[in-house]
Chains A and B, each alone.
Chain A
Amino acid sequence: MVALLDLMQTLTTPHPVDRYLELVRPMLTVRDMRARIVEVDRSVPGTVSLGLRPTRQWTGLRAGQFLQLGVVIDGVRHLRCYSPVNSQHDSRRRLDLTLRVHPHGLVSRYLHEHARPGMIVDLEPASGVFHLPDRRPDRVLLISGGSGITPVLSMLRTLVDEGYAGRVVFLHYARSPELVPHRAELAEIAAAHPNISLETRYPERDGRGFDSAELARVAPWFADAHTYLCGPPPLMDSVREVYAASGLSERLHTEEFTPSTVPVDSADVDGATTFSTSGVTAENTGASLLEQAEGAGLTPEFGCRMGICFSCTSVRRSGCTRNLRTGELESDPDQPIQLCVQAAVGDVDIDI
């Protein structure tokens, strides 16, 4: 098989074999991973749930991890991170995603409108350190808010599949019951397992936000447990505060899911640029990132210094940059950019 693949690669050099196969059938790939959408469910308002069948390269995930999904919108491929809600013991070759549709979310809106069975999407392997440890803790507290429910739901399902006997509390915050994805299933799980309790809160309706009293009420043993938290920034902040105050920060595991936001005023030059590979940080000056890197004593590759030769292309890990030629702002993470014609807007991380 490997020999055959090597021969194929020799014959198609310099193009990868997949560049030929995809013209025949997109799901027929040797190396690239893709997935076909097999199910679309829009029954929860503002949410779309997708069932995906990945190509055979899919090797599974650990409960809580995320993967990247790529779709083409107006000619451009956009990648976004989503946490599947599957149990990690799910033996079907299938992934289930639940996406909250953000009003400015390009990809989530696109999928909400256009996803249909048969559509092919790009898939990157699961990754991320937000997952259950191999030795399961004796007690588990899962806290989530809004669409942060997905990774912790995956953890819950995994524990259920394992016949986990310890205590689990699932504390979830939402705006209203109708907006809780997989609500019926959660209720079923809780009803069937005496060691698992489900606590849903609707602070906007009932005014019960998170605080230490609430924590003591739902999980009085929280100090002995491991807590997994994913949700919007205000929830994350208040949970972190309570844990920090009790000196339990290392028992709290978190996953951010802040959708990338574009700053309103690009003329504001503030923040700092981190050149992460070299471990150098520099205050933003409004100059091009190439000049800024050089000013900080680095020697990135460059050629024309005017945006035509692409010698200076490097990856923007995170943050927002402004194209000095078009004024356009961009903030998608992990994108290659031309350092000589991009300037930092706010905190930026460049991989040089």
Chain B
Amino acid sequence: MTILTETKDGPLVLSPDQVEEIGRTLDELRDRVVADLGERDREYIYSIIKAQRGFEIAGRGLMYLGFLPPFWLAGVAALSVSKILDNMEIGHNVMHGQYDWMREPNLNSRVFEWDNVCPGDQWKHSHNYMHHTYTNIHGRDRDIGYGVLRIDEGQDWHPYYLGNPLYAFLLMVFFEWGVMLHDLEADNIVKGKRSWSDLKPLLAGQLRKSGKQVLKDYVAFPLLTGPLFLSTLAGNASANLMRNLWAYSIIFCGHFPAGVQTFTEEETAEETRGEWYVRQMLGSANISGSPLFHIMSGNLSHQIEHHLFPDLPANRYPEIAPEVRALCEKFGLPYNTGPLGKQIGSVWAKIFQLALPPRALRSRFARFLPAALRKQPASGVIVMRQQSPTEAGV
């Protein structure tokens, strides 16, 4: 079996042996990290938890001074940081099973819950299973477009998508609610592929979880500040909004910037372990930045490493990134990375561009469009798995 890859610099062919070597190298890398897990990783996650709790308590406390704008702002900032840490570096990673090896009942993926309206068990299904197993496979990975957006050329255009930028904007603002509804697969209900009875338990769980979150942020804490009820309410809502904007931006940079590859079910059928690894690398994108930035992004700025090893503790990703990158370079595979501005810019350009019918972009009216939209998307990497030798080689 052969992997053929089309890159900016022309076609790339990986032989089955090479793919196997990639798989072996990455398996060895994984084993090495697993064998080394210990006290250091434990201290790391607990130090993040400590920081998160500190910001949370500071944020809640500052709301009592919310009548003074600088304190209100500081409170929102502290609470936003707390929620971002809780959801990204702690919640996302713990629920991936990254810290299960510690056998700490409170940091175990089976029971952990995060400060988010989406119940952990449902998120684990849509994310850990559906998205991480079938990364970027059309029709399997429901993170492609989240059931509402056209985010990849491989999705057929429909007039509905003229609202693409609006949908994306709303998804960004209400991201935690979007994530909550994700596992319902509403589009599949519309299409009749899913029945209402499937939803009952899911809806019950969502009601339970989101109810508690709403009670906490929009009732209990505001009430506790007495006359400052409205100011605290607004502060908590703002912190949730900040977390939504941030999480959405980081997550969309993980799979949708220019140059990221998507796949079809046919080409990924009966993948080998090596091929699975290659797909994870071609389907993900990193964001470059400082150590603090990586922590605030839950190390999803190391999306490539995360997708290769979703259950390794996130603080290991920066350490192994150079090796992964070197491996990509060795085999001529792209290692998609760039600063946040560039990555998110290319995501939004795509969102606008894909709102339009493909025809419109090719028509003579295209020259009236803004330059960013006219630019053809950077040629992604096209992977074809060939069962037999082709004229391209091998």
Task: Pick the interface stretch among B101-109, B322-330, B363-371.
Answer: B101-109
B59 located at the interface, meaning its Cβ lies under 8 Å from any Cβ of chain A in the complex: no
Q: A7-B220, A11-B216, A303-B128 are known contacts. Are A310 and B100 too (CB-CB below 8 A)? A: yes
8 Å CB contact of B103 from A78, A309, A311, A313: A78
B113 located at the interface, meaning its Cβ lies under 8 Å from any Cβ of chain A in the complex: yes
Task: Pick the interface stretch among B33-41, B64-72, B159-167, B192-200.
Answer: B33-41
In the complex formed, the residue of A with least CB distance to B105 is A77
Across the interface, do A14 and B129 meet the contact criterion of CB distance under 8 Å?
no
In the complex formed, the residue of A with least CB distance to B42 is A75
Q: In whole angstroms, how far apart are the Cα atoms of A308 and B280 in the complex?
A: 13
Across the interface, do A14 and B212 meet the contact criterion of CB distance under 8 Å?
yes
Residues in B with CB closer than 8 Å to A23 are 49-50, 53
Across the interface, do B34 and A326 meet the contact criterion of CB distance under 8 Å?
yes
Interface string of A71-87 (1 = CB under 8 A from B): 01011111100000000
Residues in B with CB closer than 8 Å to A303 are 125, 128-130, 133
Measured CB to CB, the closest approach of chain A to B42, in angstroms, equals 4
In the complex formed, the residue of A with least CB distance to B50 is A23
Q: A14-B115, A308-B310 are known contacts. Are A75 and B110 too (CB-CB below 8 A)? A: no
Measured CB to CB, the closest approach of chain B to A222, in angstroms, equals 43
B372 located at the interface, meaning its Cβ lies under 8 Å from any Cβ of chain A in the complex: no
B174 located at the interface, meaning its Cβ lies under 8 Å from any Cβ of chain A in the complex: no
Q: In whole angstroms, how far apart are the Cα atoms of A350 and B124 in the complex?
A: 22
Q: A11-B220, A20-B53 are known contacts. Are A311 and B113 too (CB-CB below 8 A)? A: no
Residues in B with CB closer than 8 Å to A309 are 124, 128-129, 132-133
Measured CB to CB, the closest approach of chain A to B213, in angstroms, equals 7
Residues in A with CB closer than 8 Å to B42 are 72, 75
Across the interface, do A75 and B106 meet the contact criterion of CB distance under 8 Å?
no
Residues in A with CB closer than 8 Å to B103 are 76-79, 335
Across the interface, do A10 and B216 meet the contact criterion of CB distance under 8 Å?
yes
Q: In whole angstroms, how far apart are the Cα atoms of A310 and B109 in the complex?
A: 8
Residues in B with CB closer than 8 Å to A79 are 103
Residues in A with CB closer than 8 Å to B213 are 13-14
11 sampled A-B residue pairs with Cβ under 8 A: A10-B215, A11-B221, A19-B53, A75-B39, A75-B101, A303-B125, A307-B311, A309-B128, A309-B133, A313-B100, A338-B97
Beyond the given pairs A303-B129, A310-B100, 11 more chain A to chain B contacts, judged by CB atoms under 8 angstroms and listed by A's residue number, are A20-B57, A75-B37, A76-B101, A77-B102, A78-B103, A303-B125, A304-B128, A308-B310, A313-B97, A325-B30, A326-B34
Chain B residues with CB under 8 Å of chain A are 27, 30-31, 34-35, 37-42, 49-50, 53, 57, 96-97, 100-104, 106, 108-110, 113-115, 124-125, 128-130, 132-133, 209, 212-213, 215-216, 220-221, 224, 276, 310-311
